[in-house]
């Protein structure tokens, strides 16, 4: 068994917080200039970005703690709570956007100073795009679902803003004022999809979903290397806790082997798995191949 060191990724959360504060100021300024409800909906989504970035900071701070006597497997699973909370906040933002847009749909209002407002909003979108790229890279590098969720949310914000900018421009050209709240409602529908996706991902993590099929296949390929030696493997179980992965398995060896030889084999197999998946904790249980009781727990464990 090997416990990888905890990573402190809070610097990325601070980056997200700074970007959220700046983009909120810019987008609210764009709304103030134009009186566009679709630009207001875009600003509300950025407000959600700020709240979720703060939650991400808290989650990453906790996740960076090393394992202790109370939480012997570490604190990394807190990231699933952060991801789920972010999904919930996105759903709330979508509801707020719809509630803001409906009165404008019933009683449309003109848009003012479109050019300047669009420029300000475009600058805010470019900031989100840059930060999203940074968080995406960091999230993949460190296997942090919190950073990946934050990056995904920011990229959704960028796409939303692009749609809003096009829509507001069309309103200005066509003069059809109801198009503005209709765009806001489309924005809400788009971010709803993102919110449900994040909640689903968090739920799967909290339910200890197995590793992806490709990862399981890679582990099985390692097992097959030992077939010619008469070594068998069963009761393979996997799960993930954000950046950390866990594997448990039974290794069946000839009963005539010494304890030292069996232990050496187990260490060899664990080493191969760790080289394939650096951030992983491996549990092995060695049993005699000839003993029927070695297979007795196959009805309880996953083969």
Q: Show the domains of the chain with their CATH numbers.
A: 10-206 (1.20.1510.10), 213-299 (3.30.70.1350)
User: d(Cα 9, Cα 174) in Å, to the nearest integer?
Assistant: 47
SS (H, E, C) 147-214: HHHHHHHHHHHHHHHHHHHHHHHHHHHHCCCCHHHHHHHHHHHHHHHHHHHHHHHHHHHHCCCCCCHH
Picking from 9, 16, 137, 19, the residue whose alpha carbon sits closest to that of residue 62 is 9
Picking from 303, 276, 266, the residue whose alpha carbon sits closest to that of residue 215 is 276
Q: Kindly give the parts of the chain with pLDDT less than 50.
A: 1-6, 301-303
User: d(Cα 135, Cα 130) in Å, to the nearest integer?
Assistant: 9
DSSP the chain: ---PPP---HHHHHHHHHHHHHHHHHHHHHHHHH--HHHHHHHHHHHHHHHHHHHHHHHHHHHTSPP-SSSTT-STTHHHHHHHHHHHHHHHHHHHHHHHHHHHHHS------HHHHHHHHHHHHHHHHHHHHHHHHHHHHHT-HHHHHHHHHHHHHHHHHHHHHHHHHHHHHH--TTHHHHHHHHHHHHHHHHHHHHHHHHHHHHTTPPPPHHHHHHHHHHHHTTGGGT-EEEEEEEEEETTEEEEEEEEEE-TTS-HHHHHHHHHHHHHHHHHHSSSEEEEEEEEETT-GGGGGGGGTS--
Picking from 134, 147, 135, 161, the residue whose alpha carbon sits closest to that of residue 45 is 161
- What's residue 151's pLDDT? 85
From the CB of residue 116, how many other CB atoms can be counted at a distance below 10 Å?
Answer: 13
- What's residue 261's pLDDT? 92
The number of C-alpha atoms within 13 Å of 248 and in the hemisphere containing its C-beta is 7
Predicted structure pTM score: 0.61
- What's residue 62's pLDDT? 84
Residue pair 133/71 in contact by the 8 Å Cβ criterion: no
Q: How far is CA 162 from the centre of its chain?
A: 23
From the CB of residue 125, how many other CB atoms can be counted at a distance below 10 Å?
Answer: 23
Each residue of 240-283: pLDDT tens digit? 766 678 899 899 998 889 999 999 999 999 999 998 887 788 99
User: d(Cα 216, Cα 249) in Å, to the nearest integer?
Assistant: 12
Both tokens assigned to 150: 């934050």
Unique residue bearing structure tokens 């402190």: 8
- What's residue 117's pLDDT? 76
Both tokens assigned to 252: 């069946």
- What's residue 264's pLDDT? 93
- What's residue 6's pLDDT? 44
- What's residue 270's pLDDT? 92
Residues, the chain: 303
């Amino acid at each position: 068994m090997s416990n990888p060191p905890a990573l402190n990724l809070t610097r990325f959360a601070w980056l997200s917080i700074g970007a959220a504060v700046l983009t909120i100021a810019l987008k609210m300024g764009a709304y103030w200039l134009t009186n566009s409800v679709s630009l207001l909906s875009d600003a509300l989504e950025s407000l959600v970005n700020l709240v979720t970035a703060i939650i991400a900071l808290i989650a990453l701070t906790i996740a960076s703690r090393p394992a202790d006597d109370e939480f012997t497997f570490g604190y990394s699973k807190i990231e699933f709570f952060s991801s789920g909370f972010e999904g919930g906040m996105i759903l709330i933002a979508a509801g707020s956007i719809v509630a803001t847009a409906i009165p404008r749909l019933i009683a449309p209002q003109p848009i003012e100073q479109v050019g300047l407002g669009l420029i300000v909003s475009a600058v805010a979108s470019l900031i989100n795009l840059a930060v999203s790229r940074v968080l995406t890279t960091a999230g993949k590098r460190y296997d942090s679902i919190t950073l990946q969720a934050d990056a995904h949310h920011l990229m959704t914000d960028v796409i939303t803003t692009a749609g809003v900018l096009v829509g507001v421009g069309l309103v200005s050209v066509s003069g059809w004022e109801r198009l503005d709240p209709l765009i806001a409602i489309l924005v809400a529908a788009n971010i709803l999809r993102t919110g449900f996706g994040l909640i689903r991902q968090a739920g799967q993590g909290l339910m200890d979903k197995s590793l992806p099929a490709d990862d399981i296949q890679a582990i099985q390929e390692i097992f097959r290397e030992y077939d010619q030696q008469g070594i068998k493997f069963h009761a393979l179980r996997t799960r993930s806790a954000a950046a950390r992965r866990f594997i448990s398995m039974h290794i069946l060896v000839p009963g005539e082997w010494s304890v030292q030889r069996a232990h050496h084999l187990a260490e060899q197999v664990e080493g191969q798995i760790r080289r394939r998946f650096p951030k992983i904790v491996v549990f092995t249980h060695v049993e005699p191949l000839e003993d029927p009781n070695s297979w007795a727990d196959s009805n309880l464990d996953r083969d």
